[in-house]
Chains A and B, each alone.
Chain A
């Protein structure tokens, strides 16, 4: 069963506008962590933001924020004031509390920022 679902294969946004990338997850573990990574065409996965299942507030890191809706099992990434350099593949990932720190990734969303 797919544990991370990213339903937007591609998204387009105008420079300086905000964009939301969707992510839903499935787990029976009450303890889990959610991560977003950015992957430019060079291939390296760049960590953006983390949200823990017990965190009371939505995580924020600069222009990135995570809209965490636990009851809906969604963890959407919001990028404010998009820049041309934000054009990349974005992956949502989850780590469950039990066992080792294995990440399960979604299929990704290709974001294109237009000038």
Chain B
């Protein structure tokens, strides 16, 4: 069973640029969630995708957008990068959209630095 993978592992961008982060969900999982973790803080929920549609969103502006593909892999896109976007971006997959007991399994994260 393959776990959650993310690419790239590290990324450096300049302010104003756009970035795309990628995530492959664990085998058999149809739900992908994205989190932003600033240094020294807990992860903050960005949004969730279920069967290729956004299924819920946290308190993030529209320049944070995403996609989910038929194989349940996902992308996180951030436009007009700001310095505060520097963070570890974590992707998590789970077997079902809303079962309370389902555990979210996380990937290794992508560390984004905005200069």
Contact = CB atoms under 8 A, between A and B. Distances in A.
Partners in one complex: yes
Interface residues on B, range: 20 to 34
B101 A102 contact: no
B100 A99 contact: no
Interface residues of A, number: 28
Contact of B101 (A33, A100, A104): A33
A44 B42 contact: no
Nearest to A31: B100
Given A52-B100, A100-B97, A103-B104, A43 B50 contact: no
Interface in B63-115: 88, 90, 92, 94, 96-109, 111
A103 B97 contact: no
Interface of A: 4, 31-33, 35, 37, 42-47, 50, 52, 91, 93, 95, 97, 99-108
Given A102-B45, A105-B44, 9 more contacts: A32-B100, A47-B106, A50-B101, A100-B97, A101-B33, A101-B94, A102-B33, A102-B48, A108-B42
